[in-house]
Structure 1
């Protein structure tokens, strides 16, 4: 399976056979959200885009390698060179634009999510985590019509770190890019062990 990544440093990637992962500390971010974001703001989806002393903003879909399924989309994304990422054929992809996937994940969150929060000891943290869970559930129900650039990464943290469920190898999601409205969905590779090599 092939994915395509736009980069200003193709020579370095090809030589090292490694792409620097997008990293954002969701533990620190969510600790900050729980401590300093009001309940009303969480309900409204007004989450901060970063946390103090962090030099970057929260990424679209979480941590990993951002790429595209089509080479033309990677070429049109920004000025740079396109690197081909060759992956194992058994790579698992979750499409967050697929109604069935959204519904199935929504139902799991709805049925199981609260029981993991119940184990928390601090009442205020528990209250805000429940509000965050409701925001995640609502986003799945509304197909990420709002807060899509923030809430997917928060969902992934909750799914993996709190619900202790395995993330898929790849997630993909279409975003409305004002400069490139016809751009295909972004793909996020979580499982880098599925990558065989990088080439042009």
Structure 2
């Protein structure tokens, strides 16, 4: 299959035959920060996109190579960039986060974690943070992540850590495109995240 990655570094990528993934954002610190502060986060838009002003912003679906399934969207993504055509193995695992059944299973996994913490967590200082966070993540899920895009990556990080899911080779999710001063949501743009670089066949 062909995936299209927008980048200002196409020449270096083709020359070196690799794409460097920025992994500076620390999800462990992000989770720790939110657990301490989740008591005041009541609505999805209150979920912060970072844990410190120096930590950078949370990538929407976690670490990896963000792509599109068509060249036009990749060209339109950012100015002064070129598009790398990534040939990716057809035989790969995918998690489609636009699929209602996938989202339902994620909701069920969050329910399981909530039950687990209620039954097994004896630390009275830690438990409230988890219960607040899980409730908030459910709200983000039900709200289609309209104002809480980083919640997707955080949910996946938590579920992978607690072995509720295995990280797929490709993650797929459509996010709302916002325009204007009032951030009006007009439509969605579909992103594909390559989380397993080993199945890249070539780049051109």
TM range (shorter): 0.7 to 0.9
Q: Which residue of 2 aligns with 1:13?
A: 13
State the partner residue of 1:71. 71
Size of the aligned set, in residue pairs, is 195
User: Which one of 194, 198, 202 corresponds to residue 189 of structure 1?
Assistant: 194
CA contact (8 A) 1:177 1:183 kept: yes
Equivalent residues of 1:102, 1:143 under 8 A apart: no
Partner of 2:182: none
Alignment CA distance shift 1:123-1:103 (3 Å): same
TM-score of the two chains, using structure 1 as the length reference: 0.86
1:126 aligns with 2:127: yes
**Segments ≥4 residues shifted beyond 4 Å:** 118-121, 179-183
Contact 2:177 2:189 in 1 (8 A): no
- What displacement does 1:138 show? 2.9
8 Å CA contact 1:159, 1:165 repeated in 2: yes
Shift of 1:38: 4.5
Cα distance per residue 1:172-198 (max 9 Å; x no partner): 111222359667301111112221221
Following superposition, the deviation at residue 89 of structure 1 comes to 1.0
Q: Within 5 A, what are the aligned runs for 1:1-200?
A: 1-23=1-23, 24-35=25-36, 37-41=37-41, 43-45=42-44, 46-52=46-52, 54-79=54-79, 80-110=81-111, 112-117=112-117, 119-147=120-148, 149-178=149-178, 184-199=189-204
Cα–Cα, structure 1 residues 31 and 7, in superposed 2: closer, same or farther, change >3 Å? same
Over residues 147-181 of structure 1, what are the superposed CA-to-partner deviations in whole Å (9 max), with x where a residue is unaligned?
Answer: 1x110011011111134531121111112223596
Gaps of 5+ in 1: none
Is 2:170–2:195's contact at 8 Å kept on the other side of the alignment?
A: yes
Distance in 1 between residues matched to 2:187 and 2:86, nearest whole Å: 22
Question: Per the alignment, in what secondary structure is the counterpart of residue 137 of structure 1?
Answer: helix
- Distance change in 2, residues 1:121/1:52 (3 Å): farther
